[in-house]
């Protein structure tokens, strides 16, 4: 691999320019901005690798598919996305979000950590390997979508329609980070999710708040309904909600015990005195990774502007997400939620499902995991930090485990990359390391 590493070192300026170029594109899926430009640039880079490239239309943003064949019988796929989160609030950025800037060894730009840095690291790794050896050690497939940041609404239909196209022996998932100690983190899954809105309605118009003496307030109605879902100990009270949450296996317990979680540093960074229920140690990590959640994402009702406006609102709504684990099915959880509301005499509250996906897990003993661990020891000189699951959600099950494809994720971000927030960044050195490490993983996977 030394020849490949040397080629990467000799071409750092070019590879960094490639990354900065794609980070200049404001490919915000939620606002339908920069999509065509991002698709064309990803297509150009894959064609530069002499991949067989297709831009596949969906009901939303296109998926860019690129395939490179070798003499190997093994196939590795990469799942990435070219879309990014909106840049708001812009006034908190120290430099323009779509004008990449290097400061203190970091490259700042919207989407550089999530997920353009990792996407380009993989493209550059393939480029370097081919430039040195002419051929690849394994067959490769790039699947790059443009709607991950809005929940991948069209990925499942794509996967079901093009099963042969996405088939692979293993998949490298889209994102990953180093922890605060600089250890590479490798995630072996992600939580599922049910995302819903609850709507409460009252009179057919807003009223003077003096009418609250005799007219029911839908905001209170919604608050009472929400209070029935979870108690002060953070326990979810929907009957049957936990039935399919599986206990930890011995391997999962051992893996979790080995995770270094810098609690005090994170609490200080977040301005908090403690975690929920004062959790610490193993119990904290177990809850973060293996337990489901019920979270209020936002509430809207009445008047919240400057000054006073004494109003009795006519409608109230809330957005909720349930992060799911193990065998929890979002459709079943939706039904249990509706039953719960009716049982507690909130049947008048309308439940609007917005998104549902299952949790994804890859076997800890899968050969893909062994390959990544071996590669990390070879490259970094130490074991990576394995995470049984990300605390967040992605379409991994829809794209991989549903079809029997093992998947694991790692990338070029760092512990304070600030995904989705102002001043998103990666370390420039981590980007170049990520290119080299990906090239090594390809080589070792072929073995």
- On the CB side of 241, CA atoms within 13 Å amount to 20
Distance of CA 273 to the CA centre of its chain: 27
Q: Mean pLDDT: which of 146-155, 174-183, 260-269 is highest?
A: 146-155
CA dist., res. 413 & res. 182, Å (int): 10
Give the CA dihedral 67, 71, 73, 77, nearest 10 degrees.
-20
Helix/strand/coil for 40 = helix
Long-range contacts of 297-300 (CB under 8 A, 24+ apart): 297/321, 299/222
If residue 145 lies in a helix (H) or strand (E), which one and from where to where?
A: strand 139-145
As a whole number, mean pLDDT of residues 118-135 equals 98
Report residue 260's pLDDT band, with 50, 70 and 90 as the boundaries.
Answer: confident
Please state, for a pLDDT cut of 90, what percent of the chain lies above it. Answer: 93
As a whole number, mean pLDDT of residues 195-210 equals 97
15, 4 Cβ separation under 8 angstroms = no
pLDDT given at position 151: 86
Q: Which CATH class is domain 195-245+291-357?
A: alpha beta
pLDDT given at position 175: 81
Please state, for a pLDDT cut of 70, what percent of the chain lies above it. Answer: 100
Pairwise pLDDT comparison (260 vs 432), residue with the higher score: 432
| 351-395 pLDDT, tens digit each | 999 989 999 999 999 999 999 999 999 999 999 999 998 888 889
pLDDT given at position 393: 87
Non-local (6+) Cβ contacts of 54 within 8 A are 64, 65, 66
Non-local (6+) Cβ contacts of 294 within 8 A are 229, 230, 236, 238, 320, 321, 322
CA dist., res. 169 & res. 139, Å (int): 10
Tokens of 144: 């790059």
CA dist., res. 27 & res. 37, Å (int): 8
Report residue 262's pLDDT band, with 50, 70 and 90 as the boundaries.
Answer: confident
Report residue 438's pLDDT band, with 50, 70 and 90 as the boundaries.
Answer: very high
Helix/strand/coil for 422 = coil
Q: Which CATH class is domain 2-188+362-446?
A: alpha beta
pLDDT given at position 181: 85
Tokens of 305: 């502007």
Burial of 264 (0-12, 13-18, 19+ CB in 10 A): exposed
pLDDT given at position 297: 94
pLDDT given at position 259: 87
CA dist., res. 280 & res. 286, Å (int): 10
As a whole number, mean pLDDT of residues 306-311 equals 95
CA dist., res. 180 & res. 415, Å (int): 5
Average pLDDT taken over every residue of the chain: 96
Q: Is the pLDDT of residue 400 over 90?
A: yes
pLDDT given at position 447: 87
pLDDT given at position 391: 85
Report residue 179's pLDDT band, with 50, 70 and 90 as the boundaries.
Answer: confident
Q: Is the pLDDT of residue 21 over 90?
A: yes
Q: Where in the chain is the domain with CATH 3.40.630.10?
A: 2-188+362-446
Q: Where in the chain is the domain with CATH 3.30.70.360?
A: 195-245+291-357
SS3 track for 266-289: HHHHHCCCCCHHHCCHHHHHHHHH
């Amino acid at each position: 691999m030394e020849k490949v590493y040397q080629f990467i070192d000799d071409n750092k300026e070019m590879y960094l320019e490639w990354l900065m170029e794609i980070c200049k594109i404001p490919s915000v899926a939620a606002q339908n901005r920069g999509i065509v430009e991002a698709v064309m640039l990803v297509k150009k880079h894959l064609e530069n690798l002499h991949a067989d490239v297709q831009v596949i239309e969906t009901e939303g943003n296109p998926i860019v598919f690129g395939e490179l064949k070798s003499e190997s019988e093994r196939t590795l796929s990469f799942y990435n996305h070219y879309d990014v989160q909106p840049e708001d609030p812009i006034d908190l950025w120290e430099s323009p979000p779509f004008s990449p800037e290097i400061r203190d060894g970091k490259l700042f730009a919207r989407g550089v950590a999530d997920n353009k840095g990792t996407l380009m690291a993989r493209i550059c790794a393939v480029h370097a390997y081919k430039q040195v050896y002419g051929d690849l050690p394994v067959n490769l497939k790039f699947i790059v979508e443009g709607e991950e940041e809005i929940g991948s609404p069209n990925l499942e239909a794509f996967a079901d329609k093009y099963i042969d196209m996405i088939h692979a022996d293993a998949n490298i998932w889209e994102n990953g980070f180093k922890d605060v100690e600089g250890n590479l983190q490798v995630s072996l899954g992600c939580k599922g999710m049910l995302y819903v809105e609850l709507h409460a309605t009252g009179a057919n118009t807003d009223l003077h708040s003096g009418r609250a003496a005799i007219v029911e307030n839908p905001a209170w109605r919604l608050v009472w309904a929400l209070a029935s879902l979870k108690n002060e100990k953070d326990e979810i009270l929907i009957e049957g909600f936990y039935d399919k949450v599986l206990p930890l296996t011995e391997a999962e317990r051992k893996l979790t015990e080995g995770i270094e979680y810098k609690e005090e540093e994170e609490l200080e960074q977040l301005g908090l005195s403690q975690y929920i229920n004062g959790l610490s140690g193993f119990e904290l990590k177990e809850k973060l990774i293996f337990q489901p959640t019920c979270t209020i994402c936002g509430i809207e009702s009445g008047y919240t502007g400057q000054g006073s406006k004494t109003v009795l609102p006519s409608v109230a709504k809330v957005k909720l997400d349930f992060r799911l684990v193990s065998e929890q099915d979002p459709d079943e959880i939706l039904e249990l939620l509706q039953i719960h509301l009716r049982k507690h005499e909130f049947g008048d509250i309308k439940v609007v499902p917005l998104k549902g996906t299952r949790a994804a897990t890859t076997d800890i003993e899968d050969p893909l995991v062994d390959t990544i661990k071996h590669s990390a020891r070879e490259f970094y000189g130490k074991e990576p930090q394995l995470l049984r699951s990300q605390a967040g959600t992605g379409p991994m099950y829809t794209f991989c485990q549903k079809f029997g494809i093992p998947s694991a994720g790692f990338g070029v971000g760092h512990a304070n990359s600030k995904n989705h927030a102002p001043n998103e960044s990666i370390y420039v050195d981590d980007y170049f390391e990520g290119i080299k490490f990906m090239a090594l993983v390809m080589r070792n996977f072929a073995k």
